[in-house]
């Protein structure tokens, strides 16, 4: 795992990775700000109480909640926003570290879209179900641990599919993920920890894709060499 992370960090200055990094940062930030702005716009045109100060106070409280509550979803948001550009990261990593690989398996847009939408649905559902635990553990300092565990599975699954479906048909990729769940969950947990580190988390989607390429190549089920 450490070797994969070191290789990913060392390749971060690669112009191809930097372009995806900029796209991911701007895309995730724009999406988050748009959601918060939409919530505040709705609040600005709604009235809940006849008392002016009470209505204003409630708007501020709900507005603040609207800005803070989406934060646990940020790793999934950043991954989803950049999902269509992370193929470029996988290409760059394979070209540099695994130059004798055959070209990736052709993927239809429908397959990519279905994987992305399924991941987004599972992510939202799991995090919604975990919100009561987030609130409970917030006062014990263990909310980060829960975030890493939950997003470790989600991110491990998403990045595995990103990398594996380039080389394996969906059924074989599903079996490989299921049979080595702990292996991919550990990789996803490491990626989730990257998301938790200030500043470094801005590069987490790009680093996550690069790390997973190395982890997948370390456990290749079938040779894919010319």
pLDDT attached to residue 212? 93
Residue 81 CA to residue 54 CA, distance in Å, equals 37
Determine how many CB atoms are found less than 10 A away from the CB of residue 218: 11
Residues pairing with 225 in the sheet: 101
What letters, b where the CB count within 10 A reaches 16 and e where it falls short, cover 64-87?
Answer: eebeeebebbbbbbbbbbbbebbb
Tokens of 151: 């997003």
**If we measure between CA atoms, which residue out of 126, 122, 148 comes closest to residue 137?**
148
The DSSP letter of residue 220 is -
Distances (CA, A) of 135 to 69, 146, 178, 192: 11, 11, 31, 19
Residue 72 has pLDDT above 70, yes or no: no
Tens-digit pLDDT profile for residues 172-207: 888 999 888 888 988 888 888 887 777 777 788 888
pLDDT attached to residue 138? 61
Higher pLDDT, residue 73 or 167: 167
Residue 152 CA to residue 162 CA, distance in Å, equals 15
Tens-digit pLDDT profile for residues 125-168: 666 666 666 666 666 666 667 777 777 888 888 889 888 888 88
Q: How many residues does the chain have?
A: 226
Tens-digit pLDDT profile for residues 7-59: 988 998 999 998 988 887 788 778 778 877 877 777 666 766 666 666 677 76
Whether the CB-CB separation of 184 and 201 falls below 8 Å is answered with no
Tokens of 87: 């193929």
Does the CA dihedral 208-212-215-217 come out positive or negative? negative
pLDDT attached to residue 70? 66
Backbone angles phi, psi at 72, to 5 degrees: -60, -20
Mean pLDDT of 53-80: 68
Residue 214 CA to residue 224 CA, distance in Å, equals 14
Tokens of 168: 């394996």
Least confident of 102-116, 135-149, 205-219: 135-149
Cα angle, residue 105 at apex, residues 99 and 110 outer, rounded to 5°: 140
Query: Helix H segments across 12-51?
Result: 15-44
């Amino acid at each position: 795992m450490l070797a994969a992370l070191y290789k990913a960090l060392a390749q971060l200055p690669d112009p191809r990775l930097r372009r995806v990094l900029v796209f991911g940062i701007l895309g995730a930030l724009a999406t988050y700000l748009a959601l918060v702005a939409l919530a505040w716009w709705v609040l600005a045109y709604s009235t809940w109480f006849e008392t002016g100060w009470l209505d204003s106070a409630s708007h501020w409280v709900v507005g603040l909640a609207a800005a803070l509550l989406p934060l646990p979803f940020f790793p999934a948001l950043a991954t989803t926003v950049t999902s269509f550009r992370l193929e470029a990261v996988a290409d760059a990593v394979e070209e540099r570290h695994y130059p004798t690989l055959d070209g990736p398996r052709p993927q239809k847009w429908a397959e990519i879209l279905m994987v992305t939408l399924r991941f987004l649905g599972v992510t939202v559902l799991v995090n919604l179900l975990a919100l009561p635990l987030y609130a409970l553990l917030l006062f014990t300092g263990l909310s980060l641990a829960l975030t890493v565990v939950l997003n470790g599975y989600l991110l491990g699954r998403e990045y595995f599919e990103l990398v594996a479906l380039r080389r394996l048909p969906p059924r074989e990729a599903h079996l490989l993920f299921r049979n080595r769940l702990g292996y991919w969950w550990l990789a996803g947990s490491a990626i989730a920890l990257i998301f938790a580190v200030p500043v470094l988390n801005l590069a987490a989607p790009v680093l996550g894709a690069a790390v997973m390429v190395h982890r997948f190549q370390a456990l290749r089920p079938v040779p894919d060499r010319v």
